[in-house]
Structure 1
Amino acid sequence: MFGDLDPGVAVVAALLTGVVLLVVLRRRGPRRPPCAAGWIPWVGAGLRFGKAPLEFIEQARAQYGPIFTIFAMGNRMTFVTEEEGIDVFLKSKEVNFELAVQYPVYRTASVPKNIFLTLHEKLHMTMKGKMGTFNMYQFMGRLNEEFHEQLEDLGPHGTMDLISLVRCLLYPVTVNVLFKKGLIVSHKRKIEDFYWHFQIYDEGFEYGSQMPEWLLRNWSKSKRWLLALFEESIPDIKAYKPERDDCATLMQAVLDVVEGEADRHSVSYALLMLWASLSNAVPITFWTLVFILSHGDIHKTIVEGISSVLGGAGREKITVSEDKLKKLLLIKWCILEAIRLRAPGVITRKVVKPVKILNYTVPSGDLLMLSPFWLHRNPKYFPDPESFRPERWKEANLEKHVFLDGYMAFGGGKFQCPGRWFALLEIQICIILILYKYDCSLLDPLPKQSHLHVVGVPQPEGRCRIEYKHRHDVCQAPRGPGPSGGATPPATHLAPGLQEG
């Protein structure tokens, strides 16, 4: 065809012909969703997406409609925002959760793909059984004891950053209950190191799931420190023999599954479980307390309810039982409403076979994405979506563990978060005991959320300090949020932020 042409011209002509054929074939092929691709090869829209991903997702939805693709850093991410797409995301056999997350799991915890795919469903079933609603009674006593112990360390009064206070409570309580008391953090220096390294690991988790470790030196160092900690601790965890089999810690149950298939990866699974149990529980507790303390009427009603159910003084070591939780439903409503407003940015599946959604075909290889953050702002499901309205949860059948329609905070489909009932219980007990023991008030306004990440519950942007004082020393009603300013919070041993070098 090009035999009589100059060789250079022939090459150019052949390339142009190939491009034309590619365009024609694409037009004749299945219709793909509209795509925000950018103009830089491979990078695509990555620069704009990375600056403010949640805002970029909403802008793309407004521009392209209910289904659209964002091409960034070599990945095609197709977002669905309405019922048909959500139904495919949750129920289709052509999309897969495990294949979507196995690469991030390898990067963040060094679990090889074949090991992850072999063990994931078995481990999910183990954790789902261990932390099912029918087993929550096993955690009640331990959680009460641990929170009382940690609250004693706060002293009778103080001022500190609220997110730091929550970490000081939830880090040791969660580790002691789910792993084994005192085994992971046994003395002050190690506790401080643990707080420091886990905070760096947690804050850099999303970057670590996508980028080479040599670009994230501090994060990589903290990851190795945590893996070494578990390398040292796991033999003792395995050796611990509870009196009753059903009293084994969750970590022991996980190790029983892992050691049968891939014993040398036990430390990696311990790190994954640590991250899963703390990464969202801490910010959810923070946001719930901030919303409660920022709404004086809700705060007052909750404190009055706690006094009615548990007694007026904050000095006694009371036990928060299942019956008492049922009488303090407003607190659970506040937690669920806080999660609604501060939901994860995205959850994902891998498209394994082309799937049709609306009038488009999503090709295999795409990551199918759903944004709980924006779904929870759909007025069809949640009227007045930007307002903190815990009373909307009256309509949910929480006795049967059914949430409101459109609520996707814990994922959906086959692999919902197996620890969701434990997390809700832990946060309820934590908040009840804080407000039972202390009169609390905010010294700073309600902070904005950080828009830098799309994985997990967002962290606050900027500080938010709390002043607390034993309730038996206080003769006044709960106060609302105070003006910005106030006493300087004490220095903490928590990492001030992620600084990669």
Structure 2
Amino acid sequence: MGVMEFFSPGVIAVLGSCVLFLFFRWKNLRGPPCIQGWVPWIGAGFEFGKAPLEFIEKARIKYGPIFTIFAMGKRMTFVTEEEGINVFLKSKHVDFELAVQNPVYNTAWIPKNVFFSLHEKLYVLMKGKMGTFSTHQFTGQLSEAFHEQLEDLGARGTVDLNDFVRHLLYPATVNTLFKKGLFPTDERKIKEFYQHFKTYDEGFEYGSQLPEWLLRNWSKSKRWLLTLFEKNIDEIKAHKSVAGHSRTLVQAVLDVVETESRQHSPNYGLLMLWASLANAAPIAFWTLAFVLAHPEVHKTVLEAISSVFGTTGKDKIKVSDDDLKKLLLIKWCVLEAIRLRAPGIITRKVVKPIKILSHTVPPGDLLMVSPFWLHRNPKYFLEPDSFKPERWKEANLDKNAFLDGFMAFGGGKFQCPGRWFALLEIQICIILVLYKYDCSLLDPLPKQSCLHLVGVPQPEGRCRIEYKQRT
């Protein structure tokens, strides 16, 4: 009787599994330290999901400049120092499109084959339409759009700053990039749009990863927004034939989309809506909040605006490129707010083994950088937790170069193509608000929420302001 006859098939299977487990543990000794928990598939997911930003920083302190978190069936390898970040930005063995293909499908129902076919073409188009040599075409439209919204606010009021900013930025952005008049004007419809977009935006991170049946309200709002575009897509496309109107960015995007797939035009409309509103509005909020919370900065900003436009707040001023060049302090404030409230992560997918420090990161891992924590590294930013707009004096903004270590807009080949438009509209919004109104905070500057990793953190708690028209 052979030795193996003493063992049942079940025992053999268990022993085989143990051998394989030990083999892969041995093989992965060269990999980064891995936080994986004890629950299969879920791994460290529960602990990580409670406060992901805090979890990342605690892991860095404990495990060093590179570590892996296994959660919800995914391996996320974080790099936090220069060598790993250089690999993230420059390696040919990491891929942006593969990293985002599933979230794009989950959040906008754009199939992988359509996404892969169109992504680079659309990126090049948007980079050209919203690049530094093109943004001047938007200054007049944005100034006019913001004035229309400011007139609705009246001479004085008390309001949550987040709602205040959304009231200004949402319609101005939609009517500029999509089609003038697309944003609703009926009070009931405006409220309905705000509610659905807020639900979609706040659940975007979960919706990009989890099955829709777990997120009923989010799924309902996604479908409502898609229906909005389905009803209006023909009108958006036809708008380019109206005399006296130039083609909007979205019309140019839809022309490209329809060379590949006509049926997915509403889906790209939804994706662009989220991309144009989700981060610009909270950054405008944080910039105004930081300025109002720092009296000396607030005073200097008001003096700068008065030196360019005068002290009255009644004129319907148009902010030009030349005006913006005279008001660099406003741009510094926006960039400093972005630095302090940067996205929690940006990601790539590893397609071939890559070596970082003494570790080998295997294919299939998501390689992660956290701009939020990178911007708090004193190696790059002295007094990293302080709001210091003057630090941006050292950046070569004339040549569109940011400070070393600044990565809020991503990096490498696929930086955010709308970054210059976003900076422009936020600057114009803030200039016009502070030109027209005396504003003051009624609540302490709120902390940022640590619940999400994707996009700009929202405030934790309310932040009311009082505004009064200047006389």
User: Shorter-chain-normalised TM-score: which range?
Assistant: over 0.9
Alignment correspondent of 1:94? 93
Q: For 1:379 and 1:105, how far apart are their aligned partners in 2? A: 34
Deviation at 1:21, TM superposition (A): 4.8
**What aligned pairs does 1:138-177 form with structure 2 within 5 A after superposition?**
138-177=137-176
Deviation at 1:193, TM superposition (A): 1.3
Task: Rate the CA distance shift 1:434–1:105 in 2: closer, same or farther, 3 A.
Answer: same
Alignment correspondent of 2:252? 253
Task: Rate the CA distance shift 1:358–1:264 in 2: closer, same or farther, 3 A.
Answer: same
Alignment correspondent of 2:451? 452
**Retained in 2: the 8 A contact 1:184–1:233?**
no
Alignment correspondent of 1:394? 393
Alignment correspondent of 2:191? 192
Task: Rate the CA distance shift 1:177–1:28 in 2: closer, same or farther, 3 A.
Answer: closer
Task: Rate the CA distance shift 1:315–1:74 in 2: closer, same or farther, 3 A.
Answer: same
Alignment correspondent of 1:484? none
**Retained in 1: the 8 A contact 2:240–2:248?**
no
Q: For 2:189 and 2:454, how far apart are their aligned partners in 1? A: 28
TM-score, normalised via structure 2 length:
0.97
Q: For 2:407 and 2:24, how far apart are their aligned partners in 1? A: 38
Task: Rate the CA distance shift 1:471–1:29 in 2: closer, same or farther, 3 A.
Answer: closer
Task: Rate the CA distance shift 1:234–1:25 in 2: closer, same or farther, 3 A.
Answer: closer
Q: For 2:452 and 2:281, how far apart are their aligned partners in 1? A: 16
Alignment correspondent of 1:367? 366
**Retained in 1: the 8 A contact 2:32–2:359?**
yes
Amino acid at match of 2:15: L
Deviation at 1:185, TM superposition (A): 2.1
Task: Rate the CA distance shift 1:426–1:242 in 2: closer, same or farther, 3 A.
Answer: farther
**Retained in 2: the 8 A contact 1:30–1:361?**
no
Amino acid at match of 1:363: P
Specify the SS of the correspondent of 2:105.
Answer: helix
Alignment correspondent of 1:226? 225
Task: Rate the CA distance shift 1:63–1:106 in 2: closer, same or farther, 3 A.
Answer: same
Deviation at 1:341, TM superposition (A): 0.5
**Retained in 1: the 8 A contact 2:305–2:431?**
yes
Q: How many residues align?
A: 471
Amino acid at match of 1:190: K
Deviation at 1:13, TM superposition (A): 4.4
Alignment correspondent of 2:408? 409
Alignment correspondent of 1:337? 336
Q: For 2:343 and 2:183, how far apart are their aligned partners in 1? A: 28
**Retained in 2: the 8 A contact 1:184–1:229?**
no
2:281 is the alignment partner of 1:282: yes
Deviation at 1:18, TM superposition (A): 4.4
Task: Render the CA deviation track for 1:359-398: whole Å, top value 9, x for unaligned.
Answer: 1110000000000000000101001101001100000000
TM-score, normalised via structure 1 length:
0.92
Amino acid at match of 1:98: E
2:432 is the alignment partner of 1:433: yes
Alignment correspondent of 2:125? 126
**Amino-acid identity (%):** 72
Task: Render the CA deviation track for 1:326-351: whole Å, top value 9, x for unaligned.
Answer: 11111100100000000000000011
Q: For 1:372 and 1:178, how far apart are their aligned partners in 2? A: 27
Q: For 2:243 and 2:122, how far apart are their aligned partners in 1? A: 21
Alignment correspondent of 1:300? 299
Amino acid at match of 2:218: W
Q: Aligned-residue CA RMSD in angstroms?
A: 1.6
Task: Rate the CA distance shift 1:319–1:32 in 2: closer, same or farther, 3 A.
Answer: same
Deviation at 1:49, TM superposition (A): 0.4
Q: Which segments of 5 or more consecutive residues in structure 2 lack a partner in the other structure?
A: none
Deviation at 1:441, TM superposition (A): 0.1
Alignment correspondent of 1:319? 318
Amino acid at match of 1:78: T
Task: Render the CA deviation track for 1:200-252: whole Å, top value 9, x for unaligned.
Answer: 11111011111111111111111001000000101011112257999310110
Alignment correspondent of 2:6? 6
Q: Which segments of 5 or more consecutive residues in structure 1 lack a partner in the other structure?
A: 473-501
Specify the SS of the correspondent of 2:462.
Answer: coil
**Retained in 1: the 8 A contact 2:157–2:466?**
yes
Specify the SS of the correspondent of 1:254.
Answer: helix
